Structure 1
Amino acid sequence: MRADAEKNRSQILTVARDVVAEHGVDASMRDIARRAGVGLATLLRHFPTREALFEALLCTHLDALTQRAAELERSTSADEALLSWFRKLVEFTQSSRGVVAMMAAAHTNPDSALYASCAAVHSAGARLLLRAQGEGTARVDMNGDDLFALITALGWAADQPSFAPRADHLVHLITSAILTSRSGDDGKKGMT
C-alpha cells in the first residue's frame, strides 16, 4: 500500500474509533470521512461497507485484548490476570456502543470477518479462567463460553441508559461471583 493510502487508512480508523465511541455502530460514514479529512470515496475505497470498517476497528481491539491476556498470563497471579483482562474487555465493550451484538454474532460464525479475532479473545479468556480454576481462585462450574456470555451481557447492560450508571457495580458483582478468592471491595479495584 502506498504511504499516502496507508496514512489515509490509519486516519480513518483513528477517527472512526472516536466517532463510534460517541455514536455507536450507527455512526455516519459521511461524518467519519469528513472528520478524517478524506472524501467519502476514499473511505469507501479502504472500507467498502460499514461492516468492513467496523470489522477493522474491532479486529484491532480484539487482537490487542488477546495479546494483553498473554501478557497477563505471564506476569501476574491467575486471579489478578483474569480480573484485569475481564475489566479490559468490559471497558472495550462499554467504549463502543453496539459492539457487543457484533461480537456475539461473530463468535460462532466462521464466515464473519470478526470470527478469528472473536475466537482468539474467547480462547484467551478461557485460558485465563482455566488457570485461575487450576489455582483454586475461580469457580469450577463455568467455562470460557460462560465467561464470554457474561462479558457480552455486561456490555449489553452498559449500552442501556437505565443500566449504564450501574456498570461498575455490575462488573463488581460478576467478578465477585467468578473469583472465589474475592470479597468486599477487591472486585472494584481499578474500575472507573
Structure 2
Amino acid sequence: MPEQQRADARRNYARVLAVAEEQVAAYGAGASLEQIARIAGVGSATVRRHFPTRQALLEAVSRKRIEALCTRAHDLTGTGDSRSALLEWLTDVVAYCVRARGLAVALSYDAAMSHPHDNTCSAALEEAGNPLLRSAIEGGTVAEGVTVADLIALIVGIALATEHYPDPAAQAERLFRLAVAGLQEMPRN
C-alpha cells in the first residue's frame, strides 16, 4: 500500500485486511466480500478499491505466510541432502496450504491472468523454491523437467481435494507422500 495515501485510507486498508484474514480463516477463499465490508465498517466499494479482485484479497491475506515459506526455503538451501531439503520445504508448503484456508486458492493459477507469474504468491514461492529444486535436480534426486510451478500445482490440488476430509492434514500428507514417490522417475510424454 503506497505511503502517500491518506491516513484514513491506510486505516481502512488495515481494518479491511484484518477482517479479511478472520473471514478467510473461517470461511476459506469463498469468504463474502460484502460481509468483510460490513464487519470492517466500510462500504463494499472501499473493499474493492483496496482489493480489486478476490485474488488480490487472498494474496494480501496470505502474504505473511508466503514470506515465511520463502524464508524457510532460503534457510534450507544448501543444507544437507538436496532432496530432503526440497521435500522438507514442500511438506511445509502442504501443511500451510491445509491449515491456512484460502492459501491454496491464492496459489492456484487463474486462467483469466495473462501469465501465471501475475500471481505474486506463486511467483514468490517459485523464486524461493528454485534453488532447492535446482540443487535436487543437479544431484540427480529429482527428474529433469520438474518445475516449482509443477510442484505448487500438485500441492494446490492436494490441498483443495482434501479440505473437506475429517482430517485434511493427514489426508494431504498421505497424498503428498504418494506423489513424492513419483518425483524421481517422471514419465515421458
Superposition TM-score, scaled by structure 1 size:
0.69
Contact kept in structure 2, 1:58 and 1:114, CA below 8 Å: no
The match for 1:172 is 177
Q: Does 1:139 align with 2:166?
A: no
Q: Deviations over 1:31-64 (max 9, x none)?
A: 22344x4323443442244343223234554344
| CA gap 1:107/1:163 in 2 versus in 1, 3 angstroms | farther
| CA gap 1:149/1:117 in 2 versus in 1, 3 angstroms | closer
Contact kept in structure 1, 2:143 and 2:184, CA below 8 Å: no
| CA gap 1:141/1:81 in 2 versus in 1, 3 angstroms | same
1:27 Cα deviation after fit: 0.7
2:117 and 2:31 map into 1 onto residues whose CA distance is 20
The alignment covers a number of residue pairs equal to 177
Match for 2:24: what amino acid? V
Q: Does 1:39 align with 2:45?
A: no
Contact kept in structure 1, 2:28 and 2:102, CA below 8 Å: yes
The match for 2:9 is 5
2:59 and 2:12 map into 1 onto residues whose CA distance is 17
Unaligned runs of 5+ in 2: none
Match for 1:79: what amino acid? R
| CA gap 1:44/1:8 in 2 versus in 1, 3 angstroms | same
2:75 to 59, 62, 71: 71
SS of 2:142's partner is coil
2:182 and 2:173 map into 1 onto residues whose CA distance is 14
Q: Counting helix residues as a fraction of each chain, which structure ranks higher?
A: 1
1:108 and 1:48 map into 2 onto residues whose CA distance is 14
**Segment drifting more, 59-68 vs 22-31:** 59-68
1:131 Cα deviation after fit: 0.9
Unaligned runs of 5+ in 1: 181-192
1:156 to 149, 160, 164: 160
Over the residues paired in the alignment, what is the CA RMSD in angstroms?
3.4
SS of 1:105's partner is coil
1:83 and 1:120 map into 2 onto residues whose CA distance is 18
The match for 1:83 is 87
1:84 Cα deviation after fit: 2.7
